[in-house]
Chains A and B, each alone.
Chain A
Amino acid sequence: MSDKVVAELHEPTPSVGDGGPDMIQLLTPEGQRVSHPDYDKYVADLTADELRSFYRDLVLIRRLDAEGYALQRQGELGLWPSLLGQEAAQVGSGRALKPHDFVFPTYREHGVGFVRGMDPQSSLQLFRGVSQGGWDPAEHNFHLYTIVIGAQALHATGYAMGMRMDGNVGTGDPDRDTAVICYFGDGASSQGDVNEAFVYAASFDAPVVFFCQNNQWAISEPVEKQTRIPLFQRARGFGFPGVRVDGNDILATYAVTQHCLDEARNGNGPLLIEAYTYRMGAHTTADDPTKYRVSAEVEEWKFRDPILRLKSYLAHEGMADEAYFTSVDEEADRFAAELREGCVTMKTMPGETMWDHIYAEEHPVMEAERSAYLAYKASFEEAN
């Protein structure tokens, strides 16, 4: 053959989106405060103490994530889904919630759980396999992690319908009016359940805020595979407002989420927030992103780091100094040591618990299997 066809492999040039002109931003990647006519009011009253506590949350959950990753690599956890890069989206939205609001997370929302006051050991318990569920959802109004992609969008919608039936929406009483926030990702935006939840929530004016962390990747599928238009614009087709916020900007995320939660509590739900962010790590510890994306893209996003951006702002405004930042780092070191110690000393579940809680009451099939197992287990004790 004269014309030899040679397949050439080109390194793809990353086209790193910047969120576009519609994206709400209050802090530039350099840490410069920019004003926004609609959202400034939500951050105007933040004190230096509160802003420093935002910074502390960001640093601690990044450390929680690093420890989760390391513990998995050491064989102490079965799996760890990393939140690296999404700290501001989680802390900003989580801090906007009131205690009586209710959260439906995915399996990546360790940061939201942390700012809700959940014991950080809880998610380690889950991924270590020493607890079913890991925590009491009623304690912090933080539901258990949903593993099935997008399924929680319908649960959140039904839960929000229940709130409306209970009369906890649009009363004007700030202690009573309640919203549900439902987290999901860009991959889930293609799921039937999420789209059906949009239809359903709209049909029943459910007080739910759909919070999509668009981290650009659904394992190996880029967001371009999920959608032709920016995800927040989809809301319009379902008949409710959608907004894109810089998910690496904690101030903007905090402001936009507050606004949307207020709307939902007042009876103007549902709403969609697209937090434009980036998954800096792997999808989970079972994933290797170097197979499908180039490091240049990751390098580009490092310049938009959510923690450095707030740190720069705090330092520039004179609200925190090097001594403060050092003290937070030292706290993170102690926090990490406690996490590791707590994790490796967790007690395992006895085998017979496998048959527990499948039904509220005893069930003949489970009972028979459990009894057979217990008899087998007892035979070793008798043999000794």
Chain B
Amino acid sequence: MSRRSTMTVAKDAAVEAVTAPEVSREASREASPEEAPATVTTTYREALREAHREVLARDPRVFLMGEDVGRYGGSFAVSLGLLEEFGEERIRDTPLSESAFTGAGIGAALRGLRPIVEIMTVNFSLLALDQIMNNAATLRHMSGGQLSVPMVIRMTTGAGRQLAAQHSHSLEGWYASIPGIRVIAPATLEDARGMLGPAVEDPDPVVLFEHGSLYNLSGTLPVDPVRVDIESAAVRRAGTDITFIAYAGGLGKALAAADLLAAESISAEVIDLRVLRPLDDATIMASVTRTHRVVIVDEAWRTGSLAAEISARIVEQAFFELDAPIERVCAAEVPVPYAHHLEEAALPQAEDIAAAARRAVGAHG
């Protein structure tokens, strides 16, 4: 099978056809109170698309390029309709070469343009890693501050869709270790809608990870553009007994685990990291100081993971606040399995997170 994942991409496009944006973007007003903002029912995918539409309309220097972003509407249908709206110059279908469109994006950014580059999956981004790490991330420093590479590199990450071991890994922790870039990972509709704007305005390269299992996440958003920062972590659920630290695809599972535990009178606080570099240590340590127990959820392999980095920071900065060993719930250290049941088993699940929390609070059941 080609690495272009034709079958799954077709499946995603089919989902898109069902939830046509024109229908779902219909504005609706809350019954009361009167000052409540107009909201729109949307999905993570549509929120990302709206974010593109906003930055493309706002700044003529912005353009999107990558494989299948134009006529096909994006491998995961994020850019569907943008070619018709903004034209071929600004929604550029490219030859099949990750290093080429990333490197050319760097060149265009050096000239003052604001490219958004879409790489189909994080696994394919390895073909562009030299351009990202040895070039985009270093040029400002190696030019004594003279050069800027204001580009956004978007890519899909994460497993859970039966795309097997060459399309499903969570390598964002690798990127989070690189000085010179910012790494962000929206897990909510609000962030899917709001993070691209500040990412495009960032004078440095930003790597934006879209979690593949979130594209169909649905909910409501205000009709007006959403403003969020790309600096801080967010507490998505307040709690007192234990802190869950998660991001992207792990957030929903952590929230589900918190629900499970609430029934057992264990109160879990859930932090959504949002920004993987730089990590928001203050939010993490403040929460640990309140709860004294931690579970870190990471869909990447445990060894050398972002979860390992966060564990180390907690030990360095809040060791005496801990009442129990830090728990990590990570993916099995195997290439992500293709078989559905094995894939599910390899990934962190809500019940795994709840079990880790019970160990940490000493509530073995």
Contact = CB atoms under 8 A, between A and B. Distances in A.
Interface string B83-106: 000000100101101011111111
B285 interface: no
Interface stretch (B133-141, B288-296, B300-308): B133-141
A360 B148 CA distance: 8
Interface in B55-84: 63
Given A132-B144, A133-B144, A165-B113, A157 B180 contact: no
A158 B143 contact: no
A165 B179 CA distance: 31
Contacts of B146: 133, 136-138, 144
B107 A157 contact: yes
Given A133-B146, A148-B134, A148-B135, A360 B140 contact: yes
Contacts of A366: 179
B98 to A, nearest CB: 9
B108 A356 contact: no
B103 A157 contact: yes
B111 interface: yes
A358 B131 contact: no
A159 to B, nearest CB: 4
Given A162-B108, A200-B97, A360-B148, A148 B143 contact: no
Nearest to A144: B143
Contacts of B112: 162
A333 B102 CA distance: 45
A151 B113 contact: no
Nearest to B135: A151
A363 interface: yes
Interface string A131-174: 11100111000011000100101111111111101100000000
Interface in A357-378: 357-361, 363-366
A199 B107 contact: no
B135 A358 contact: no
A360 B206 CA distance: 12
A131 B143 CA distance: 8
A117 interface: no
A159 B113 CA distance: 9
A203 interface: yes
Contacts of A359: 140, 180, 182, 204
A197 interface: yes
B110 A159 contact: yes
B278 interface: yes
B141 A160 contact: no
Contact of A159 (B100, B108, B140): B108
Q: Which secondary structure dominates where chain A touches chain B?
A: helix
A203 B140 contact: no
Given A144-B142, A359-B204, A364 B105 contact: no
A358 B100 contact: no
B12 interface: no
Contacts of A197: 100, 103-104
Interface in B127-167: 130-131, 134-135, 139-148
B215 to A, nearest CB: 28
A165 B182 CA distance: 27
- Most interface-central of A137, A153, A154, A192 (chain B CB within 10 A): A154
Nearest to B127: A192
Contacts of B222: none
Contacts of A357: 140-141, 143-145
Nearest to B104: A158
A356 B141 CA distance: 7
A360 B141 CA distance: 9
- Most interface-central of A138, A151, A158, A161 (chain B CB within 10 A): A158
Q: How large is the interface on A (under 10, 10 to 19, 20 to 34, 35 or more residues)?
A: 35 or more
A132 B146 CA distance: 9
A196 interface: yes
Contacts of B110: 143, 155, 158-159
A193 interface: yes
Nearest to B278: A364
A87 B101 CA distance: 33
A131 B115 CA distance: 29
A357 B204 CA distance: 10
- Most interface-central of B63, B131, B203 (chain A CB within 10 A): B131
B99 A193 contact: yes
Contacts of A143: 110
Contacts of B281: 364
Contacts of A148: 130, 134-135
A162 B115 CA distance: 10
B134 A151 contact: yes
B141 A158 contact: no
Given A161-B104, A161-B108, A133 B143 contact: yes
Interface string B161-204: 00000000000000000011010000000000000000000111
Interface of A: 131-133, 136-138, 143-144, 148, 151, 153-163, 165-166, 192-193, 196-197, 199-200, 203-204, 356-361, 363-366
11 contacts: A132-B142, A132-B144, A133-B143, A137-B143, A158-B107, A159-B107, A203-B95, A358-B141, A359-B140, A360-B148, A360-B202
